[in-house]
């Protein structure tokens, strides 16, 4: 007889306790019994027979045994957990690039004004003169730095590299 070794990634071990039932199925069936006892003991006319308790016993019995059934080798309870985790996951992801969380806020340096001296004729601006656009001043005012962000994949990890140019 030839034997082969099956890798652990392929096999799944499931302990069968009674017949074809595993521990989860048995726990669901025993839970049905405990829920029935709680219904009998806690609802009005405690520990006494009442007609309205019978439908409650039947409903909880059907639910617990329905969850213990197998479909395609998995218990219905496991299928429900998979479906609920899929449908209850967030479906909208909002990325706000204006968020200031974990950002370096660079404030423009404060420039102290010198005391004014006598006004010379050379420094007086003409009213018709148009201010010249200077991008360096705009970057300084807005706090924009000359930095470069790059990403590198190394050994299965993502590294972010922040290089500051001067």
Tell me whether residue 59 is in a domain. Answer: yes
Is residue 25 within 8 A of residue 68, CB to CB? The reply is yes
CA 131/CA 45 separation, integer angstroms: 91
Residue 108 in domain: no
- pLDDT value at position 93? 72
Q: Which of residues 45, 67, 87 is at a domain's end? A: 87
Residue 123 lies in a domain: no
Confidence at residue 146, expressed as pLDDT on a 0 to 100 scale: 59
On whether residue 80 sits in a domain, the answer given is: yes
Domain that holds residue 158: 139-164
Least confidently predicted of 15-24, 28-37, 58-67, 145-154: 145-154
Q: Are 33 and 68 in contact (CB under 8 A)?
A: no
Task: Please tell me the total count of domains within the chain.
Answer: 2
Q: What does the pLDDT average to over 94-99?
A: 72
Q: Are residues 83 and 143 in the same domain?
A: no
Does 78 fall in a domain? yes
pLDDT digits 0-9 by tens, 111-156: 777 666 555 555 555 555 555 666 666 666 666 665 666 778 787 7
Tell whether pTM > 0.85. Answer: no
Residue 119 in domain: no
Is residue 62 in some structural domain?
yes
Could you report the per-residue pLDDT of 50-93, keeping only the tens digit for each?
A: 999 999 999 999 999 999 999 998 999 999 999 999 999 888 77
Could you tell me if residue 30 is inside a domain? Answer: yes
């Amino acid at each position: 007889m030839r034997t082969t070794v099956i890798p652990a990634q392929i096999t799944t071990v499931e302990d069968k306790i009674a017949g074809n039932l595993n521990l989860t199925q048995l726990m669901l069936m025993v839970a049905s019994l405990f829920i029935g006892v709680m219904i009998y003991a806690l609802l009005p006319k405690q520990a006494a027979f009442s007609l309205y308790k019978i439908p409650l016993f039947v409903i909880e019995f059907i639910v617990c045994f329905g969850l213990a059934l197998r479909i395609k080798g998995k218990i219905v309870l496991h299928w429900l957990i998979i479906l609920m985790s899929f449908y209850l996951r967030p479906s909208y992801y909002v990325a706000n690039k204006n968020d200031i969380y974990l950002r370096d806020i660079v404030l423009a340096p404060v420039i102290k004004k010198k005391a004014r001296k006598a006004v010379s004729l050379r420094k007086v601006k003409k009213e018709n003169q148009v201010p010249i656009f200077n991008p360096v001043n705009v970057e300084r005012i807005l706090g924009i730095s000359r930095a470069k962000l790059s990403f590198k994949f190394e050994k299965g990890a993502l590294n972010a590299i922040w290089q500051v140019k001067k």
